[in-house]
Structure 1
């Protein structure tokens, strides 16, 4: 296959790129700067610059994957929030423009998304069939992001929105969550009752491959394990694997003062179940948190 990835040099993008190259596919990474690859199956294609014309290089691509967007892990000032939203909308529009120009359309377009669309709740359980959505900044951003991606369906391309939970691996959020425990300062964050819907990065990559191969999957799909956990259980499990205590709490008021509006990422959550993946018989290699952490922290 010929696979095109925007955001292919980030934590998740690198895993997806390596997986498909190792399985004999050609990967074309969209980049603003001109780059050369030393790998035969890896290609860099310039885009989002005045003189860039990526269409010719991408003709005949089977799959487009869009992971691009500014990190949500910077403090949410008004300018940062603007950049978070605009980076996602602009890259998705650019993807549409490329696909529109292609004589041979890809079989599938996969757009990153987030479980944040559901809003936060201690009591509700969310699946792809849930009609309730949030009203906070992250939920509104995801709604606008998916609406932009949906336009690609009008080009006759199967379109999928992978709603990521917290992706666990050597990068992303996990190292920051592990660090306090390494320093013997780990403990419950906020109330500890908030839900964490997560997925091992290797399962996420396999799910992406599964989506490409399963032509009946379209629209939203939750990229999370079937077994979300509370923040308290998450921290306790990290402590157990590292042989460190779980004892110094991080109170909600202190985190709100330090992080501002962005504190919603750690103080509130949602219990999300990957109903569509399960209905289509996708098998998770790391369903339970202890399995995932054992693999990552070993």
Structure 2
């Protein structure tokens, strides 16, 4: 297959690219960097005013489009400027991806639009499935709602459109887990805020395998949750981390500590949502790491 991917140099995208390269697929990777070829990877500079990538790709065969581009939501404090970059980087990247597809001589079979479980908003009591509506009660839920709706500009009925709502991706050296591990490494791990907030997570290998599955299963379109079938509370996650790496679980991070350290972004740690991958569970996909204990043991031991 020929796969066009944006965000292919980021945390999630880099693992997706590695996976498909190992399987022998050709990759067109849209990047802010220079245009260059590295083996079966072809990096193409994009999002300039000249729109050179549109002309370059127009006569290329593209079977799959994966859109993961966007300013990282977890990096830096949420100043008004940062929040604007988070939102508009996603809108602009999606619009440009659609513009590229519109100019392709041969249309792709599937367009996988990245999103996040932040779409649902935060709740201590509700369970969210792929069919749940957004509460739109937080900045991440507002961003995801606008981000997903931007895909409506893709008006090709023959292109299967999938919205991948990605959970908290567990990886030992990148993403949320790498930051959660810091106090445990210092023997100071413990409860985060109330501890009762849910963490809807997925092992990074299962995430990549899921994206691969979404390409092959032609019956799946629309929103789909990319999370493990067993979300856990922050308290359970912390205790499992402590157990796996043989560290104590004792020093609490209170809400006021988080607010001082992170500002508005502290909501990511203080609030949560219980998100279930109902559509994946009804499919033939099989999770390699369905429980937090199994996932963390693989990642940390």
Equivalences, count: 297
Aligned position for 1:159: 161
Aligned position for 2:197: 194
Aligned position for 1:275: 278
Tell me, in whole angstroms, the C-alpha distance in 2 between the residues paired with 1:50 and 1:258. 38
Contact 1:225/1:274, CA 8 A, preserved across alignment: yes
Tell me, in whole angstroms, the C-alpha distance in 2 between the residues paired with 1:268 and 1:51. 42
Tell me, in whole angstroms, the C-alpha distance in 2 between the residues paired with 1:95 and 1:291. 37
Alignment of 1:79-228 (within 5 A): 79-154=81-156, 156-169=158-171, 170-228=173-231
Q: Which range moved further: 199-208 or 24-33?
A: 24-33
The yes-or-no answer on 1:256 pairing with 2:256 is no
1:234-279: CA deviations, max 9, x gaps?
A: 0111111111001000011221222221111000000000011111
Q: Aligned Cα RMSD in Å? A: 1.3
Tell me, in whole angstroms, the C-alpha distance in 1 between the residues paired with 2:294 and 2:281. 19
Following superposition, the deviation at residue 123 of structure 1 comes to 1.1
TM-score, normalising length: structure 2? 0.95
Tell me, in whole angstroms, the C-alpha distance in 1 between the residues paired with 2:292 and 2:178. 15
SS state at 2:99 partner:
helix
Contact 1:116/1:134, CA 8 A, preserved across alignment: no
Contact 2:191/2:253, CA 8 A, preserved across alignment: yes
Contact 2:165/2:224, CA 8 A, preserved across alignment: yes
SS state at 1:173 partner:
helix
Aligned position for 2:34: 34
Aligned position for 1:76: 78
Aligned position for 2:49: 50
Aligned position for 2:11: 11
Give unpaired runs (5+ residues) of structure 1: none
Following superposition, the deviation at residue 80 of structure 1 comes to 0.7
Aligned position for 1:285: 288
Q: Which range moved further: 128-137 or 190-199?
A: 128-137
Tell me, in whole angstroms, the C-alpha distance in 2 between the residues paired with 1:13 and 1:150. 23
Tell me, in whole angstroms, the C-alpha distance in 2 between the residues paired with 1:38 and 1:88. 26
Tell me, in whole angstroms, the C-alpha distance in 2 between the residues paired with 1:165 and 1:290. 17
Give unpaired runs (5+ residues) of structure 2: none
